Amino acid sequence: MAEDEWNDELRNELLESVCGYMLGEVRLGKRDDEEIVFIAVDRLADEIPEEEVPLFEAHAIKQLPLVRQRHEAEQSDWPEETDCDRLDEVQDELQEDGIVFWQASPCCNTCSQSELPDRLREIDEDDPGFAKECRGYAFFHDQSLPDELLENSQLLVYLSYGWFPDKDDVSETEYAKQALAIGEEVCDALESAGFRVDWTGDLSKKIGLHINWQRRTQLS
């Protein structure tokens, strides 16, 4: 940014944007304070002069407790059991049945797919043997969720899903059959918990999940 473009009005506008970015992250409930501050300021890296970065970081650190207080105040109108509470229960049920259900996985489909082995290892530390017994997966990524949550808690997220073959030589037909079975299990679990699910049963289509994202606890 050219120095002659920078002024107090723009600074104040972008400082306000930092608080908005942090509110979306706090509502998502995935990241710790250090990560939230870094992400909120980093999103403005191309818009603020380098010498202004410490000011923005200090502002974010100071404002984050107030952002968290706002999120806590919002919870006074929430039901005792939220959709997020029920989704956590679905996650636990599917894990017991050998399916990893990953909420707000990293970034995008490609990143989430590549990090599935790491996710299995993390779960295996708390649930020894899970990685070996895991049959399949389902996930929705977090790429745009903080921005969406800044505007509205009513989300439509799309779940990717698949099968972990138990042998090396698997035909496309067999993979499709088993992956669809995983998708059906995931849909059944969600619908049994009262969620609205959109899915045609087509392997090329993701599973649409309607959810009112009201999260009190951090994602695991």
Predicted pLDDT of residue 119: 97
Strands annotated E in 116-205: 136-141, 154-163, 196-198
What ranges do the domains of the chain cover?
3-76, 83-212
Q: What is the mean pLDDT of residues 150-165?
A: 97
Residue 2 has pLDDT above 90, yes or no: no
Q: What is the mean pLDDT of residues 3-19?
A: 91
> Do the beta carbons of residue 195 and residue 86 sit within 8 Å?
yes
- In angstroms, the CA 185 to CA 175 distance is 15
Predicted pLDDT of residue 186: 99
The 10s digit of each residue's pLDDT in 183-217 is 999 999 999 999 999 999 999 999 999 999 999 99
Number of alpha carbons in the 13 Å side-chain half-sphere of residue 198? 10
Percent residues over pLDDT 70 in the chain: 98
- Which amino acid is present at 191? E
The 10s digit of each residue's pLDDT in 44-87 is 999 999 999 999 999 999 999 999 999 999 999 999 999 999 99
Query: Against a cut of 0.75, is the pTM above it?
Result: yes
